[in-house]
Structures are given as C-alpha cells and as structure tokens.
Structure 1
C-alpha cells in the first residue's frame, strides 16, 4: 500500500461490487486470510474491540477494525444485517471497507465489502476444516442455504476432496433446488428430512444461519464430528445446543471476541486454541478418533484488511475502479 506522495495530488480509490467481484480470486483470498491469521498469531496484527449494536430500524450495525504496523495496514469494516432489505429486493448483509494510510490517517480506498465478507469467511471456514476435520471425512451437513452457506460449502468441497455426500437444512425445511443445481456436479446433495439424523450421520457439520437458537439436539453430535460455526456473531446469538461446548476441543479465531459475540459466549470458560496458532505451528493438534471439535468463527478485521489490500493493489495494477481527487 503506497501512501500519496503529496497532499495536493492525493487520490481516493472507489471499488464497487462489480469491480470487487472481477478482482476477487478464491485462491488469493485463501492466502490473504491465512496471512491474517498468522499476523494475529504473531501479534503483528491487532484487532480492536468490536462494535455490534441493534438499531431502532430493526437492523444490526457493527464495526470491525484493526491494523498491522509491519504491513502498513490500517482500516475498518462498517457492516451489519438489515433483514427488511429482502422485501426491498436487496441483500440484508451490508458492508463497506475503508483502508487508511497509517502514516497520515488519510483514506486510501473505499470498497464494497459484501463479497469480501462472504469469500473471506468461506476461506476462514475452509482453513478450519483443513486443520480440524478428519481428513477422511465424506459426509457433510450444512444448516442454511443462503450466500454464506453456499460459500462455506464451496470452500469445503474445494479443500476436502474426500467429501461426497451433502445434506442441507433450510429455514423452512423445504428443498432448495437452486442450491442443489449449483453443487450437483460436485457432490451428492439433498435436503435433510431429519436434522438430528443428518447431524448424527455426518463427519462435518457447518452452521451458517442467523443464529436464532440451537439447530439440533445435543445427542445428535457423534464422536469424531467436526463443527464449523458461522452464525453466532452478536451477543445473544447461538446455533449449538446447550452443554455441547464443554465436551469439545474448541478452536476460535480470536479468544476474546469469541467469548463476547461468538458461540463461546455461552460457555466462556471453555479452554480454546486460536486457529492462527495452529497455522503458525505454535500449537500442535492431533485429533483422537472420538474427539468432537468446534471452530467458532466470529470474523477478524484483519481478514477484511488483508483481502482489501490485495484488491487495492490489484486495482492499482489494472487501472480498475474510480479515482477521486482527495486533497488535504
């Protein structure tokens, strides 16, 4: 990231959703997200306290921010969830990322953050599966059929080639033919008729819902299961049944953040390991056959920033985006 050479010729780069989609590449995002976890593990990258508050309009607004001083990286994502957008024909999740020059505090790049949030979360889930799921896993159950559920499944199938069978649970319990058609050439996918049976028969369970409550019964989770939990990202949200966390080997993206807004908020004293420490090799992880493992994903600001930096650099190299004079 190169700061402006003078105050008079400073520019602000704008990247809209179409430009972001053109520049995003899943493999590059995977590398950028891995870098974010490593920076976090090495404490070269910081994540600042999360803002996550309900609005009178019915939405939830949040800010995730952080920096990596050795990388010249500083910025934040303003994001949230506005369920009424569905009635307006829009996406309920909304996000905007701002990269800032850490030397001057001047804005460098404003980026539509929806696709970044989606893909970086999928990449984080994929990294969790690589580290924690049994390598011979063949059956996966996913709760949710929306944008995040689809990207989680996409990365799971990319990174775990042994996966063959996928069962999904929709919000209304009905088939989602669009989801099935999207993945039909990559796996045997079908709607689950019994959510507890689907969990019990699966090696991997992914929960990617709005987090309104426990999605299955405690007894459904069998020894050897791995769970990626995506939906609990706000105080009061949950997807796992009560009393499950004390029985598992718990991995989180950030311990403090998970205890505040993640699934871990329901059992905050559960011992946990941060995924970055596994990726960095600071902590070893050997899965016993009967271990139940959970990756509590709350999303790190550093993930947004490393991916945003990637797009900023690629936009500069390709001439993509709109540049506005921004003198100071």
Structure 2
C-alpha cells in the first residue's frame, strides 16, 4: 500500500484569503447547473438538534469531476459569550476512487461566501434589474455578506435599510457599507419592507419578521435563515401570493420556508439559471418572487475544490503525512 499520501489542511485565515467574490460566484453558479443537470448529486441531509446546538452534515459529489466530499456544520449559540462564532463548519474533500481524504478546510468563511453568492445569483435571476432599495433583516455575518454581494451584482442599488433583533443601530454594519450606499436602520419592519424592491432575511429564524401585506408587488425576497425544522422568517400567506424557487425543493420543503406550506408550487433556481435567460424572464413585473435558500452540498464542494486547487498551486496550507 502507498505510504506517501498527504492531507492538506486549510485553516480559517488561509481559506478566507483564497476566497475571491467573482470566483465564488462562478463556482456556486456551476454547482446550481450541476444540480439541475443531474451531474451533481446531493446525498440525504443530516440535521439534528443537540443539547448545545444543532449539528448537520451535507454531502455529495460529481462523478465526472472526481469530486466527493462533505460539510459537517451547525450552530452553537453558547459560542458567542466566549467571543467565538456560533456557526461552525468543517469541509472534507475525498478521493472518490479510494475514499482517502485529500483536503480538510475550515468551512466558516466558505459557508458565508457561498451562501451570499447563491443569494446574489437569486437576485440576478429574480429581482427586478431596476431595483434601487434593499431591506435586510439581520446584521450578523450572513446579513453583512448578503448585502456585500447584493451591492456587487446589483449596481442600481442605492439605499439599504436594516433591522436588528433589538431595534438598536449597528454602527459597525453601517460603516462597512457607508461608502457604497445610503444605509440606515429601518424605523419599522413593515415600513422598511414596503419601501424596498429587495428583501433579505438573514436571522436565526425564530418567527415571521413582517406582515404579508407589507410586501409590494414586484418585490423579491431572499430567505436565508430558515434551514432547520421549526425555523421560519416569512409570514403566513406570503408563499401563496408569490412565485417561489429553491436551491433544492425536497430540502426546502423539509427545512426551509416551504416546510410551512409544502404543497406550494415551486421550482429550482438551477433550472432557471440553466436557461441563461434575462432577469425575471417570463415573470410578470408585479409578481412577488421568493428564493428559499437552504444551501446544498454542491455549493460547498465546488468552492472547496477551487480553494484546494488554488492552495496547491500557490503553496498555501499545511500538508501532513496521511499514510495508508
């Protein structure tokens, strides 16, 4: 048996340094197309409550690309008082021919970037191209990443209003985007939604954030926080008023917003992206659109493969002996 095998380790800072927004967007777009074509597989989801948090495993692969891997991730709220991120993720890439691990990556930065990139692709496909105003619920890691990517791909966005769980201003969040848009807290959730072309919900998903009546015709909503049984961010009745897309329908109906209305007609975003049609092609101008985002393994693996290849090319990371 060979005894010279190596395992590459990429820690938090090394992985973050290798992430470039345009490349992440391209990798995540590819993952949607692989899923839509059937070339990429996602395996059954593990998502379980623990005494200290929630633990999950997302896995899958692309046989034609020799890609196989998994992400073990979840949420541990007790980390925050310790000064650490409540979200924790670790990605492992395997050699599909032998099952040997090839690369282990701290998955937090990958998860943040790939989720925001997926949201940006949803905006490009479903939001009105002339959108100027955005409302975001949540100013944490995900909220900030989604606003960053939204401003990158929607150059017409001029105004951002944000809502925090305690209603307080978030000066650090404002400072991050002050040079790129008019940013300020929303005085009221319903008023902020009613005044927005795009709404992004990036919260822990403890309950509806606004009323269905506040959503104007033509608004697009990216739903980020509902990724576990029992979580929700949208109000009753909104799904029935909207046209809905998901990254994976079965998963969205199990743990996303669609869990609250699983019979709602919906489609998958990958099929829409595969058509390469202009934004909102075939969608009425006054239609409310929703992207129910639960995140799929192919997004993590496509980005992780990019990082692995880039790290090998420039010598980033720690290579350790991993003999058979």
Question: Aligning the two structures, in what range does the TM-score lie when normalised by the shorter sequence?
Answer: over 0.9
- Are 1:35 and 2:30 an aligned pair? yes
- Distance in 2 between the 1:211 and 1:7 partners? 48
- Aligned counterparts, 1:68-217, within 5 A: 68-217=62-211
Q: In structure 1, the residue corresponding to 2:230 is in which secondary structure?
A: coil
Provide TM-score, normalisation by structure 2: 0.98
Q: In structure 1, the residue corresponding to 2:191 is in which secondary structure?
A: helix
Aligned counterpart, 2:58: 64
Residue from 310, 313, 323 that aligns with 2:319: 323
List alignment gaps of at least 5 residues for structure 2: none
Deviation string 1:71-126 (CA, Å, 9 cap, x unpaired) is: 10000000000001011110000000000000000000000000000000000000
Aligned counterpart, 1:312: 308
Q: In structure 2, the residue corresponding to 1:264 is in which secondary structure?
A: helix
In the TM superposition, residue 7 of structure 1 has moved relative to its aligned partner by 2.2
- Distance in 1 between the 2:183 and 2:299 partners? 30
Q: In structure 2, the residue corresponding to 1:213 is in which secondary structure?
A: coil
In the TM superposition, residue 285 of structure 1 has moved relative to its aligned partner by 3.7
- Distance in 2 between the 1:212 and 1:47 partners? 27
In the TM superposition, residue 271 of structure 1 has moved relative to its aligned partner by 1.0
- Distance in 2 between the 1:253 and 1:85 partners? 29
Deviation string 1:39-66 (CA, Å, 9 cap, x unpaired) is: 0000000111111111012x10000000
Residue from 216, 219, 225 that aligns with 2:219: 225
Superposed CA RMSD in Å reads: 1.1
Q: In structure 2, the residue corresponding to 1:9 is in which secondary structure?
A: coil
- Are 1:22 and 2:17 an aligned pair? yes
Aligned counterpart, 2:233: 239
- Are 1:268 and 2:262 an aligned pair? yes
- Distance in 2 between the 1:189 and 1:129 partners? 19
Aligned counterpart, 1:288: 284
Aligned counterpart, 2:273: 279
- Distance in 1 between the 2:2 and 2:314 partners? 24
Count of paired positions? 322
In the TM superposition, residue 287 of structure 1 has moved relative to its aligned partner by 2.2
- Distance in 2 between the 1:260 and 1:48 partners? 14
Aligned counterpart, 1:3: none
Contact 1:278 1:285 in 2 (8 A): no
Residue from 33, 40, 46 that aligns with 1:45: 40
List alignment gaps of at least 5 residues for structure 1: 1-5
Contact 1:143 1:169 in 2 (8 A): yes
